[in-house]
Structure formats: C-alpha cells, structure tokens
A and B are shown apart, each in its own frame.
Chain A
Amino acid sequence: MTAIDTHTIQDAQREERRARLFTRINKADKWFKVLGLSWLTPMLRAAVGDNPKAQVKEIWKLLGVPLVAIAAFLMFWATLAPTVQTSLGAIPGPGKVWEEAVGLHQDALQKGEQERAFAARVDERNQRLIEAGRADEVKDIPFTGAPSYYDQIWTSIQTVFFGFLLATVVAVPLGIIAGLSPVANAAMNPLVQIFKPVSPLAWLPIVTMIVSAVYVSNDGLFAKSFIVSAVTVTLCSLWPTLINTSLGVASIDRDLVNVGRVLKLNTRTKITKLVLPSALPLIFTGLRLSLGVGWMVLIAAEMLAQNPGLGKFVWDEFQNGSSSSLARIMVAVLTIGIIGFILDRIMFALQSLFTFSNNR
C-alpha cells in the first residue's frame, strides 16, 4: 500500500517536474529564437522525453536543413573557385580561406607579443627617466606597430556604434517631432527624401573636409579618421530611424491620444507615457535597419578614406596583391557578414526586451 503510494507520489512529482521543465523550455525558446538558436528547443524537449519523432522533425528543419545548405554552399565554392583564374592565381576555396583565417589569428597573437615587448620598452624608458630625475618626461606611449586583425575589427565595431548612437540621438527626436506635427513633417519630408539615397562615398569627401576644418586638434579625444568614419555612418544611417519613428509616432491609436487629451497631459508626459511606448516597436525596427545600413556604409567609408578598421584591411590587401590577398579579403568578407548578423541579433534582442508586441 505504502509502496504504491510512494510510486504515485513520485509519478505525480515527476509529472510536475516535467511540466515545470516544459514551461521553462518554452520560456527559453523565446530567447533562443532571438539569439538564432531556435533548434535548441526541440533538442531540449527531446532530452526531457517529449514525443521524440516530432522533435527530430523539428531539429531537422531548424538545424539539419541550414547545415546541409551551408555544406552544399561550401562544396559549390570548393569546386567552382579553382576554375576561375585571376591575375593573383586561382580564386581561393574554403580551405585556403580557413588557412588564412588561422594565419591572421596567429599573426594577431604575434602582434600581441610585440605589443607587450613595446610596452616593456616604454616602461624601461620611463623608469630610466625617473631615475635620471626627468620624471616630467614620463609618458604612456601607445603601441606604434601595425594593428592586428582583431584590432581592426574592434575599431570598426566602435566606429559603427559611435556613428549609430549619434544617428539615434539625432533621428529619434526629429522623428517624434515629425510624427507629432504635420507641419514639421511637411518641412522635413523633402529633405529626408533627398538626403536618404545619398551614398557614403559622396558624403565622405564633404565630411572629411568639414571635420578637417572644424576638428583642428590632433591630440583630441578621438582621432580625426575615427570622427570622419563615424559621421559618415551617422549621415547614412539616420534615415531609417527617422522615418520609422515618425511613422510610429504618427500612427498612435486615436483613442490613446483622446485619453491623453481628456487627462490634460502635458507634452512631456504625453511623449514619455503615450507616444514613446506605442511607437517603440517601430522605432526599434528603424534602429535595426539603421545599424545594418551603418555597418555596410562603414566598410565602404573605411576603404575609401583609409581609416583604420576592416575596410582599410580589405583595401590594403587589395593593394598588396600578394598570393594570399584574395583569401584574406574573403576572410574579411565573412567576418563582416558574421558581425553584421550579430549586430542585427543584438538589436533584435533589445527590441524583444523593450517591446511587448509580437516580433516584427
């Protein structure tokens, strides 16, 4: 009797645990989707023991098919690449590109060592100066060697975020104004339409000249080249946010607006309590588009202006014209693609955090 009892109790407990696990998995699923790991859900479900057949089918759809597609792409690449002869030799296949990626990693490690040796030399110099009683000449000198591949990636990411933040700071308020007031919208619309399609390559010379004229100091907080790249990114990426924000603000539920009127909300409260929350999904859609555009634009700007970053890396390799240049450029292309994807996912995750509406 007691034995059966414990069994039923245990069963009930197990059922309960399973149910709890499933709710947890379902909750996590939302995040897996955001992070692009939705295939984890069926795997976890299968692990807990939920209808394995159905889960396998899900796994195949979410993980198997993409993997097969990637494999097919790699095979296509590997077979077709060697058939095209360029002046720098055959187009490199995936193997060669992987080799170069490893080479770049090793190169970065080596540069790290050089950097440490450099820092040691600087320390030694400063120590000697202190001993010589010339402590006022002690300086922290930044590494003067060539940046590693990772340094270039990091520079590009910093630049794109700086430009993107600048664009957001400009575009969101303007968008709100345009959305709230038809007059402001009519004023801004033609300018937006004209400037939106301008390519970064056209902005760049203008930005370069203006930054050179305005930002005279060479020892400022930011390097001139950094400002030039970032401002170019800003100019090209502010439009999607601006347009989506004004659209989001303009299409607030009329009822909400009326309620606001009845409650006699002041402008500030109206914007923070009514306008922003309901426009947020569209604003985030705009931001996501903006960041994507910014990332694309940045590489072009860096290539043309020779500003530090991945774009410069690509251009330098193109100019080097060595036998490994093409493969290295392909490493950069893949890196640019993967980072662009990650940036988009980050914005998507933020959007899911801040908005309650369904995914857009």
Chain B
Amino acid sequence: MKRIIATLATSTFLAGPALAEMLPLEKDILTFGFIKLTDMAPLAVAYEQGYFDDEGLFVTLEAQANWKVLLDGVIDGTLDGAHMLAGQPLAATIGYGTEAHIVTPFSMDLNGNGITVSNDVWEMMKPNVPTMDDGRPQHPISAEALAPVVDDYRAKGEAFKMGMVFPVSTHNYELRYWLAAGGLEPGYYGQDDTTGQIGADVLLSVTPPPQMPATMEAGTIHGYCVGEPWNQQAVFKGVGVPVITDFEIWKNNPEKVFGITAEFAEENPNTTLAITKALIRAAMWLDENDNANREAAVEILSRPEYVGADAEVIANSMTGTFEYEKGDTRDVPDFNVFFRHYATYPYYSDAVWYLTQMRRWGQIGEAKPDSWYDEIAQSVYKPEIYLEAARFLVEEGLADEADFPWDSDGYRAPTPSEDIIDGIAYDGRAPNAYLDSLPIGLKGDQRVVGNEVQG
C-alpha cells in the first residue's frame, strides 16, 4: 500500500499501475542473439513468460551461426546483447581476439556442460575405469583413464583430437582442466600461434556446438566438450559416450553470461536494468519449487526457433538427470543451475577464474599482478547493476530479499578442494597463487616463446 501511494505521489498523471512501474526506457526495441544451447533458457523464458513485456521491452531473439558471428553482432550493434561464453566479454575487453569493451550485469547459469568421447575411445578407456558393485563405471571419470588411449593413438602415429566450441569458451578451459588434471598436456597458445596446440598431447580445435556429434561421427575429432543438448544427442544417436559433466569437474562452476557493450550499458542505463530484471525473473522461474517448471521450459526450448532438438533429448539434462552410456541414467540434480547458489550474480571471482585459465594456457602471454585480475573483473562484471535490478524486483514484490547476496564484495568464498576434480582449491582473490598451485600450465613469469615454454 505504501508503495502504491509513493508511486501515485511521484507520478500522479500515469494511468495504469503496470506503466507506472515501468522504467523510462532509452531503448525498447531490442534484438538479442543466442546459440542453440539449453543454457539460453533465461532468454526464451523471459520472452515466453512475458517478463520482457512487463518491463516494456520488445525483444527479438535470434539464433546465431556461431560464437564469432554472435560476438561480432554485439560489437557492431546488429545485436543489442547476447547469450555469451563467460570468456568472451573478458577476452574482448583485454583485446584477445576482437577488441571491444563488453560488460555483463547477469550471469546466466552454473554447470551444464559435458565431455563426450566416441564409442571407440570409450571402449578403449573402459578397462581403465574403476567399476562400482553393480558393474557400472564409477564416476567421476578422470582423464587418467584416457591417457593410455592417447598413448595408443600416438604410438600408431595418429593425433588424438578433441573439439571445443571457441578459443575462450568455458568448454575449452574445462576440457583443458580435465585433461591436465589427468596428466595430459592440452597444449599452449603462443603469441603468434592461436591454435593452442604447442606441446600438446591432445589436439583441441574449434567446432560449433550443434555440429559436434556429426563431426565426431565423421571421425574428424575423437571427443569433445560442449553444452547440452549435444552430449545427450550423442547418446541418443549412439555415436558417443559422455564421460564426465562439468559439475563433476568443478561443482557449480560459472557458465554463460549475458553480454552487452559498455557503450550500450552507459547510454541505456534504464534499459539495461529492465533487461536484467526480466532475466532474473526468468532464472527464478526456471529454478522455482525445486525445478517444477523445468518440463515447461523443455517444451519452450524444443521449439524450432530456440534450441529445436527433440524435447526428450533436452529433458534428459534439464530435469536433473544425465544419461551417460545408453541406459545408464544417473541423477545430477544440479546439472543445470539457473538461480540457486546465487547463480545469476556476476561474481568477480568467476571472471578471475576465466582470466587465470587464459593466463594458464598462454592466451595472456605475460604474468600479471593480482590487482590486474581484480581490475579487469571489475571492468567487465557489473554486480552493481544486478543488485539495483534485484532491489527493484524485491520492492515490486516479485523477488525474495533473501535470494540475493546484498553484502558480497563480489568474491565467492574460495571453492574448497573437494569440490574440484584435481583437489586444488580455488580462491579468486589470489589468482597468481592459484596458478602456481596447478601442476600443468604457465605460472610465475613463464612465457611461450616459439614452440616452447620458457622461464
């Protein structure tokens, strides 16, 4: 009641209450890009559930061919914003690849990826994987089980190749993390060599997500790391076996973000807030009542204009289970997290992790002080916009005050060692110490010169 009076007092000439709550928008006709992956769900849900409408936003969602096209679209203004790999805004801002200042007020989800190998590779790996009492393989599976297979391939004089979706993608870093945790070298990026295969045991290359299963089926790659539904698709098509989910590599690791240019955020502060509000509501809806709305979300995502894969394939991972080998379905309740665990809050520590991985594999060529990591994180991740949007929602009675980390300094509590596959804890406040604690990867003042690591 107090609110209504307050609204009336400030804007008595406004007629409808819905309009009164609407922020004065600088821009209300927007186009957002996305890649056909289940973690674009907050965008589809915000559209279909009318959350964009509630904010007075008229949004068009457009599927993009690949991550490069999507990033270029945001930079040149064809797209006002997009579902992005968390590494993309960071890499663009520090000028790795295309240079542009991109920011994010909203983190889209946690987890949601998997690593799949072809049937042949799985048959060769299987003897190295410990089994449970019922004979099924014991998860999580370490890349140590893959190492002898890679050796076999090399002995035959054949390269072992795996696919990831983009040089600065979560998938690239997760795949590298898993391989390195199992003692395999995924290779370094050099100053002039952007293939990332310097000194590699396993050659990683870029393949767009929807083409992963087909590329593996064709034998071009022997495995890949990608988001859903393309791991489950491999199971359905019978072309491969997912060996591990990213939840098992690092519990509740940050995944996609919603990216806009710094320029857009500056010129359209209210629009940015309104978008963030709508996306937060969508994320809340996705996780509400213990994932009660996930079936409905699956139906939305299976429409051809969004992800478009068969509903049963999408449902496999979206509803808290994951099918490894055909018939071996296990519960992974947090496979896709959209709101719980403060999933949507853009933590600086999440940004720092991505930066450490860029440094670890040579995409950042020189050593940087801890303060640099913090600075870059703060220039890209915008929790202040997020919290302002959340405050509006709480005031409008649409969100619960307890669901947001109001007093956070932007850093998550350090991830304990038991939550990460190689047992190495991660503290975003001390990136250099973290880099030093990883056995494989650049550390200290090490640099990649020509074809080798120096220093």
Residues of A within 8 A of B (CB): 87-88, 121-122, 125, 128-129, 131-133, 139, 141-142, 144-146, 212, 218, 224-225, 304-306, 315-323, 325, 328
Task: Assess whether B187 is interfacial by the CB under 8 Å rule.
Answer: no
Closest chain A residue to B20, Cβ basis: A132
Q: Is B63 an interface residue (CB 8 A)?
A: yes
Having A146-B305, A321-B309, A322-B302, one finds 14 other A-B pairs with CB under 8 Å, namely: A128-B15, A128-B16, A132-B15, A133-B13, A142-B29, A144-B60, A146-B304, A218-B78, A315-B65, A316-B304, A319-B63, A321-B213, A321-B308, A325-B308
Some 5 contacts from A to B, beta carbons below 8 A apart, are A132-B14, A141-B58, A142-B29, A225-B78, A321-B233
A144 contacts B59, CB within 8 Å? yes
Report B313 CB to chain A, min CB distance, Å. 8
Chain A residue numbers with a CB within 8 Å of B14 are 132
Closest to A305 in B: B65
Q: Are A321 and B210 in contact (CB under 8 A)?
A: yes
As a 0/1 sequence over residues 187 to 211 of chain B, the CB contacts with chain A under 8 angstroms (1 = contact) are 0000000000000000000000011
Q: Is the CB of B210 within 8 A of A319?
A: yes
A218 partner residues in chain B, CB cutoff 8 A: 77-78
**In the complex, how many residues of chain B place their beta carbon closer than 8 angstroms to a beta carbon of chain A?**
40
**Residues on the B chain within 8 Å of A317, using CB:** 304, 308
Cα A102 to Cα B435 with chains together (Å): 58
Within the complex, the shortest CB–CB distance from B432 to chain A, in Å, comes to 40
* CA A189 to CA B43, docked complex, whole Å: 53
Q: Are A316 and B63 in contact (CB under 8 A)?
A: yes
Q: How far is it, in angstroms, between the C-alpha of A88 and the C-alpha of B303 when the chains are bound?
A: 17
* A323-B237 contact in complex given A144-B59, A316-B63, C-beta closer than 8 Å: no
Q: Which of A87, A125, A128, A145 contacts B237 (CB 8 A)?
A: A87
Closest to A304 in B: B65
Q: B229 → chain A, closest Cβ, in Å?
A: 9
C-alpha spacing A295/B36, complex, angstroms: 28
Q: In the bound complex, what is the Cα–Cα distance between A212 and B210 (angstroms)?
A: 27
- A87 and B78 in contact, given A125-B56, A132-B13, A133-B13 (Cβ under 8 angstroms): no
Bound complex: CA A322 to CA B305 (Å): 12
CB atoms of B63 and A323 under 8 A apart: no
CB distance from A311 to the nearest CB of B (A): 11
**Nearest chain A CB to B115's CB is how many angstroms away?**
19
Roughly how many angstroms separate A87 CA and B56 CA in the complex, as a whole number?
A: 43
Q: How far is the CB of B80 from chain A (nearest CB, A)?
A: 9
B53 CB–A CB distance under 8 Å:
yes
Q: Which of A212, A316, A317, A328 has the most CB of B within 10 A?
A: A316
Establish whether residues A212 and B76, one from each chain, have CB atoms under 8 Å apart when the complex forms: yes
Does the CB pair A128–B308 fall under 8 Å?
no
- Tell whether, in the assembled complex, residue A323 and residue B36 are in contact, meaning their CB atoms are under 8 Å apart: no
Residue of A nearest to B217 (CB): A87
A312 and chain B: residue at smallest CB distance: B63
Give the nearest-CB partner of B64 in chain A: A306
Residue pair B308, A131 in contact (C-beta under 8 Å): no
Name which residue of chain B comes closest to A130, CB basis: B15
CB pair A87–B214 under 8 Å, yes or no, is: yes
* Binary interface encoding of chain B residues 54-75 relative to chain A, with 1 for a CB under 8 A from any of its CBs, else 0: 0010111101110001000000
Known contacts A144-B59, A323-B310; is-contact A306 B19 (Cβ 8 Å): no
For A132, A141, A224, the residue with the greatest tally of chain B CB atoms inside 10 Å of its CB is A132
Which residues 1-57 of B have a CB within 8 angstroms of A? 13-16, 19, 28-29, 36, 47, 53, 56
Query: Inside 8 A of B210's CB, which chain A residues have their CB?
Result: 318-321
Interchain CB contact under 8 A, A144 and B58: yes
CB atoms of A132 and B309 under 8 A apart: no
B430 adjacent to chain A (CB < 8 Å): no
Which residues of A lie under 8 Å from residue B63 when comparing CB positions?
A: 306, 316, 319
Nearest CB of chain B from residue A229's CB, rounded to whole Å: 14
- Shortest Cβ gap from B61 to chain A (Å): 8
Residues of B within 8 A of A144 (CB): 29, 47, 58-60
Chain B residues with Cβ below 8 Å from A142 are 29
Q: CB of B239 within 8 A of chain A?
A: yes
A322's partner among B47, B59, B217, B308 (CB-CB below 8 A) is B308
Interface assignment of B307: CB less than 8 Å from any CB of chain A: yes
User: When chains A and B are docked, how far (Å) is the Cα of A4 from the Cα of B277?
Assistant: 95
A131-B233 in contact given A316-B304, A322-B308 (Cβ < 8 Å): no
Residue on A nearest B314 in the bound complex, by CB = A322
Residues of chain B within 8 A (CB-CB) of A319 are 36, 63, 210-211, 308
User: A residues within 8 A CB of B309?
Assistant: 320-322
**Contacting pair A320 B15 (CB below 8 A):** no
Nearest CB in chain A to that of B53: its residue: A121
Tell me the complex Cα distance, A22–B234, Å: 66
Closest-by-CB residue of B relative to A111 is B305
CB distance from A306 to the nearest CB of B (A): 5
What residues of chain A lie closer than 8 Å to B233, measured between beta carbons?
Answer: 321
B69 to A306, Cβ gap below 8 A? yes
* CA distance in complex: A319, B305 (Å): 11
A212 to B78, CA, bound (A): 9
Question: Interface centre among A122, A144, A317, A328, by most B CB within 10 Å?
Answer: A144
On whether the beta carbons of B19 and A132 are closer than 8 Å, the reply is yes
Q: Smallest CB–CB gap between A24 and chain B, Å?
A: 49
A164 to nearest B CB, angstroms? Answer: 25
Distance in angstroms between the alpha carbons of A122 and B14 in the assembled complex: 17
> Given A87-B213, A218-B77, A306-B65, is A320 in contact with B307 using a C-beta cutoff of 8 Å?
yes
Contacts of B29 in A (CB 8 A): 139, 141-142, 144
Residues of A within 8 A of B303 (CB): 146
Q: How many Å from the CB of A36 to the closest CB on chain B?
A: 33
In this complex, the member of A121, A133, A225, A322 whose beta carbon has the largest number of chain B beta carbons within 10 angstroms is A322
Instruction: Please give me the residue from chain A that is nearest to B214 by CB atom.
Output: A87
Hey, which chain A residues are within 8 Å of B217, CB to CB?
A: 87
- Residues of chain A lying within 8 A (CB to CB) of residue B47: 144
Of chain A, the residue at the smallest CB distance from B310 is A322
* In the complex, residue of chain B having the shortest beta-carbon distance to the beta carbon of A218: B77
> Beta-carbon contacts of B106-146 to A below 8 Å, as 1s and 0s?
00000000000000000000000000000000000000000
**Minimum CB–CB distance for B210 against chain A, Å:** 4
- Would you call B36 and A320 a contact (CB within 8 A)? yes
Write the chain B residue with the least CB distance to A133. Answer: B13
